[in-house]
Amino acid sequence: MYGLNKKGFICESKYDVSDEPLLAALLTTGNGYMGVRGSFEEYASLRVQGAFVRGYIDEITEVCEPFADNEYMKKYYLNEEGLKTFEKQESCVNMPDFLLVRVQIGSKTFFPHEGKILKWERELDTRAAELRRKVLWDDGDGNKTELTFSRFASFERDNLYCQRVSVRPVNHSLPVRIISGVDTAVKTGGQIITRTDEARADGCDLFVSFHANNKFRFKAAYAVRNRFPAGELEQTYFENGRIGASVLCAPAAEYVLEKTTYVGTERDTEREVCEWVKEESLRYGCDYAERRAAHIKAYGEYFKPMDVQIEGDGEADGWLRFASYHTAISASRHDCVHGVAAKGLTGERYNQFVWWDCEIHQLPYFIFTAPETAKQLLLYRYRMLAQSKKNAEQLGYKGAKYAFCSSVTGEEKVWNYVRHPFMQAHINSDIPMGIINYYECTGDAAFMLEYGMEMLKECSLFWLSRVTETNGRYEILQVTGTDEHHPYVNNDAYTNYCVAFVLKRFIELCDEFNFDISGEERRELSDVASRLYLPKTASGLIPQFDGYFSLSRSLEEAGKGTLKQFQMKKSGLYHKSQVIKQPDVVLLYTLADVGLPRSSYAENWDYYEQMCETSSSLTFPVHAIASAHNRRMLSFYNYFMDALKIDVSDLHGVGWQGVHSGCLAGGYLAVIHGLFGMRANKSGLSFAPNPMPLFKKITAKIKYRNREIELRAIGNNIKLTLLKGDALAVTVESGGKANLITLKKSYEFIA
């Protein structure tokens, strides 16, 4: 049983073993460097337990036996020849479990499925990034004990994880033994792929080093420091993959263990990792209160710009904070070893590959709240540029071709038994869209000169060789858009419009930065940009791809529910239907804003909302924004709440695999883009608010070109406050008219 408590935090008020897998994902603690699923300290479950460090990758044997039982799967989805050779795949590594703490009371060991739970409270404090649990336990013989667990991944120091366990006998004086250890017997993808190199104890403290065993063989180490309650330190044990130290506690009213684990991999340092971890761990003691105070200060400063406040709707306020918390812990703040994955650091699903979601759905969140983090995500793409140029060469194209599924090398990691992801060339416009968006909103010219312009150039050169000249225009043939129900289409609208936008903007930026491209390249880029086919009917309706409107407008439905999800029956005729998996065209008006005139927005929104089945979580925030833009505020609310609760309500039934990180990032974006109508492009910053009558008051913040601005809405009254930075020209829409104002301190207007 779980939901929001009175403090607005996600809380589990009753233990139910069936909730363990889902809550393990929802209650993940992390800091962008590491993510630790919400499993219990007292035991590990292979389906629940998980500790991940960004970019700590190796190869697994991935067992897959898909079966094509309909025409769509047979013809378009599966490459059954590929299945014959597919065996190995790169994946994040599930690292040894350092959470392990066991409490023995008399002859009984505390487990939630043993004895009797008299009281159970577990909450994820999203304002402190701390997971807490309080249990009143009867051992089955009437002996009652109160156990309290607290833990966090430090924002003070990325490599540090802190735990505190309190044991308080209620009605007995039985002896208490506390064990703290590390469990190295963990699996990734159902197989053991780490090998322990060293496991030893030094009094109360532990040291474990290991390496991934198959391909990259990255080394890593833990230095665990324990502050046990007073008592007799017993012999260290190592059995069944577990190493631990234990204390038979001296009689007391309360027994407290404080445990810090310093996590390090060879990707964190140029020094020998074991020596580095040992040395660095000595900088941090076991004082939980001290480490917690430093952590909360650092986290609070980082999270403050992300923390939207909604008054008048506690559900929306609490779940939006939960969504923003998960987004905040999904991306590394201090390095570009890896990007941000579709599941963040909350599970193994999708192997923690970096997809197009990163630049279109997740990067904008950080651009407006933590631009230095956004920069790290783009620097990851720069690290992959050399390999991306090799990818293009191997395919017979110019420039660079970024991997649709990207890991740590930049090579394409799409599963070779599926067809259409290889055709999702839009990744090569998504990344440039992210670079351009970052520059427009930060003004970071140094980044553009050193990294950004080079990436834009190589992606643009790719498109020169990817387009086809036909009947006096350029076309992009045989691609798959973001809507994977329709592979191998010609002139996918999302792809074509984004490519045209990127090429035109790149040419402009070449002039702005005096960037060196040859005259021939400039002429070719200008020619393609001006003559690339941008499909649109006379009425302004944009066909998703060539022939789209000639397809059937229906698809056989199965099942019931509030979500408009179609279950593929044996007919499997997605490719013959207009039903789409997720928005393509609507993205062009929302998160991938290419400057389309708003005159045809409502027409396209009306059409494509009806055709979209929302089988991708990325649909919900896009639809929320589009609903707000078109003043359909009840629809906004429904899509907005679905975006925030995609995993809490387990709308797609796979929440236990990890949260839908891109969808959760869309909660914040739905507020600033949808409700406040914010746009930021080469023309500057503008607001065309869409009042939300269901909320009493909304307060959000953005960072824009070295400025911090607070956005506030009370009914139709909008207030912009410059919190930091120089005065700024801003366009605001009031009464249907656009007005250019200078924001010096604060400015109020009626939407």
H/E/C letters for each residue in 197-214? Answer: EEEEEECCEEEEEEEECC
Kindly state the tokens that stand for 438. Answer: 């970052």
Task: State pLDDT tens for residues 623-640.
Answer: 999 999 999 999 999 999
Average of per-residue pLDDT across 98-117: 96
- Residue 568's pLDDT band, with cuts at 50, 70 and 90, is very low
Q: Are 411 and 391 in contact (CB under 8 A)?
A: yes
Determine the pLDDT at residue 78.
86
Q: Which residue out of 484, 512, 520, 748 is catalytically annotated? A: 484
Q: What average pLDDT does the structure give for the chain?
A: 94
Counting other chains too, the contacts that 396-399 makes at CB distance below 8 Å and 24 or more residues apart are 396/465, 397/462, 397/465, 397/466, 398/461, 398/462, 398/464, 398/465, 399/457, 399/458, 399/459, 399/460, 399/461, 399/462, 399/463, 399/464, 399/465
Residues listed for the chain: 751
Q: For residues 715 and 747, what is the distance between their CA atoms, to the nearest angstrom?
A: 16
Determine the pLDDT at residue 556.
55
Q: What is the pTM of this model?
A: 0.96
Q: For residues 183 and 129, what is the distance between their CA atoms, to the nearest angstrom?
A: 24
Superfamily of chain region 2-51+96-300: Glycoside hydrolase, family 65, N-terminal domain (2.70.98.40)
Catalytic residue at 484? yes
Proportion of the chain above pLDDT 70, given as a percent? 97
Average of per-residue pLDDT across 76-90: 87
Task: State pLDDT tens for residues 276-328.
Answer: 999 999 999 899 999 999 999 999 999 999 999 999 999 999 999 999 999 99
- Residue 72's pLDDT band, with cuts at 50, 70 and 90, is confident
* For residue 25, pLDDT beyond 50: yes
Determine the pLDDT at residue 572.
58
